[in-house]
Amino acid sequence: MKTITESIKAELNKLHVKPVNMAVSTGTQWFGDSGELLRSVSPVDGELIAQVYQASVTDYEQAVQQAQRAFEAWRLVPAPKRGEIVRQVGEALRAQKPHLGRLVSYEMGKSLQEGLGEVQEMIDVADFAVGLSRQLYGLSMHSERVQHRMFEQWHPLGAVGIISAFNFPVAVWSWNAFVAWVCGDVCLWKPSEKTPLTAVACQKIVQGVFEANQVPEGVSCLVQGDYSVGEMIARDGRIPLVSATGSTRMDKKVGAAVGARLGRALLELGGNNAVIVSEHANMDIALTSAVFGAVGTAGQRCTTTRRLIVHESILEVFKKKLAHAYSQLKIGSPLDETNHMGPLIDAEAVAVYRQALEEAVNQGAETVVEGGVLRGEGYESGCYVKPAVFQVENHCEIVQTETFAPILYIIPYSTIGEAIALQNDVPQGLSSSIVTNHLQESEAFLSCAGSDCGIANVNIGTSGAEIGGAFGGEKETGGGRESGSDAWKAYMRRQTNTVNYGDELPLAQGIKFDI
């Protein structure tokens, strides 16, 4: 019987990905073998998957210069033709979905279903971007001057820096890259140093499509490295837009560096997402949304449900139902589809999880479902943990902090106004939800005096956002918007145009020159 590692090697062969340890790819060119080695270790079984070099300053400079040259040609390609190329990227991903999805699951640790779902999300974004390539609309306005036409149009920005996180190692890159490409931009992608191999696989897939279509070298650049490479991108004035996904602490530094040079930053930072469970809730919907939202991806989603705000009249009943549901969860290898939850990403994440458990107890939390680190057969990597549930006050420091792990806090409330205030009373503002069959409660939650998050749902959970809507949040979540709706405008520059087709030049405010 094949081991998991041998099976993954077979998947890499199907993906036509030989272990590429070079730090940088600008398309067909791979280079950079002078920096430190980054190790990709699977949290599934603790096995070393691959090693890649970190980009040096020289490697990075070469990539940026190539991207700049590519932009001069790529921006002149008509947007619908750019969209056709992205369509082919989507088709290539469809063909490789089973293999890439399995690699995502193994390198990151999310369930196989979620790994496959992440690749499907990339395919969906490609489809969205194809349609978008024919809808980069401007506006026509009436001029106050006779025989003048006034309008606005959108032009490509240039090179877009994409800094992505380990929890969605490929999907978030596609949200940015596919939309940026149809807008006429080129991209420099710094993936998480914890998931470099999935990035190599994606670059290889794109490379095949781009070669077939004679896309200029440098439209898609991959630059491997740790935070220092991200710092180079953030400080580089040649990169007008930096899209960064990660912790609030890390991306505050990115935002400050980009802002200091008056660049644009599209930030997707932390979440501290809550589901309000009303006394008028459908209990089955509430329970399903709470459990999936809290333990999906082992609590390592920015949209993970971290707080459950439950009406006091149903609090004890709901706690018992939740504890029973948690007792049914199966934890183990994410490549086994019978398991509900896989591992945390690495030992550092486990240490943060354990510290949060201790702090919750120290801050007076009541244990509803006990957590802990799993040991023994099947858990050799040391990254498997049990999801935990506490009842606690919303103002506690541990509740106000995002812990990237499957820890859920239950908070009781008495009125809908109190529930909304509790939901809003955290520094983060990404996703939120209410489960209720009461019309007035749902409308209050969605009103301007309701949820202060970028995403607000009724009778569904906090996770599972669709690509058609703009994704992002407020407050310490960063304010950025990616993927759907009109998020494409972040990747372009707006230009207002006025054309005088008459024989005279009327001046503003009636000013006249005798010439």
**Gyration radius from the chain CA atoms:** 25
Q: Amino acid identity of 472?
A: G
Q: What is the DSSP string of 250-298?
A: HHHHHHHHHHHTT-EEEEE----EEEEE-TTS-HHHHHHHHHHHHHGGG
Predicted TM-score (pTM) of this structure: 0.96
Tokens of 395: 């103002």
How far apart CA 442 and CA 424 sit, in angstroms, is: 15
Strands, sheet with 273-277, edge to edge from the N-terminal-most edge strand: 366-369, 388-391, 407-413, 305-311, 273-277, 431-435, 455-458
Q: What is the pLDDT of residues 286-300, one digit of tens each?
A: 999 999 999 999 999
Place of tokens 């890159």: 173
Tokens of 364: 């007076």
pLDDT tens digits for the chain (515 residues)?
A: 346 667 777 777 777 766 568 999 999 999 999 999 999 999 999 999 889 999 999 999 999 999 999 999 999 999 999 999 999 999 999 999 999 999 999 999 999 999 999 999 999 999 999 999 999 999 999 999 999 999 999 999 999 999 999 999 999 999 999 999 999 999 999 999 999 999 999 999 999 999 999 999 999 999 999 999 999 999 999 999 999 999 988 889 999 999 999 999 999 999 999 999 999 999 999 999 999 999 999 999 999 999 999 999 999 999 999 999 999 999 999 999 999 999 999 999 999 999 999 999 999 999 999 999 999 999 999 999 999 999 999 999 999 999 999 999 999 999 999 999 999 999 999 999 999 999 999 999 999 999 999 999 999 999 988 999 999 999 999 999 999 999 999 999 999 999 999 999 988 777 777 77
CB atoms within 10 A of CB 506: 15
Q: In sequence order, which residues have a C-beta less than 8 Å from that of residue 507 and are 6 or more positions away?
A: 513
CA distances in angstroms from 350 to 358, 382, 397, 470, listed in the order given: 13, 8, 20, 32
Strands, sheet with 139-141, edge to edge from the N-terminal-most edge strand: 139-141, 148-156, 492-500
Q: Where are the alpha helices (DSSP H) in 447-494?
A: none
CB 454 within 8 A of CB 477: yes
Q: What is the pLDDT of residues 300-331, one digit of tens each?
A: 999 999 999 999 999 999 999 999 999 999 99
CA distances in angstroms from 325 to 318, 320, 389, listed in the order given: 10, 9, 12
Q: In sequence order, which residues have a C-beta less than 8 Å from that of residue 448 and are 6 or more positions away?
A: none
DSSP 186: E
Of 466, 484, 470, which is closest to residue 129 (Cα–Cα)?
Answer: 484
The residues annotated with a catalytic role in the active site are: 268, 302
How far apart CA 342 and CA 355 sit, in angstroms, is: 20
Main-chain dihedrals φ then ψ at residue 65, nearest 5 degrees? -65, -40
DSSP 171: H
Is residue 145 helix, strand or coil? Answer: coil
How far apart CA 507 and CA 515 sit, in angstroms, is: 13
CB 219 within 8 A of CB 70: yes
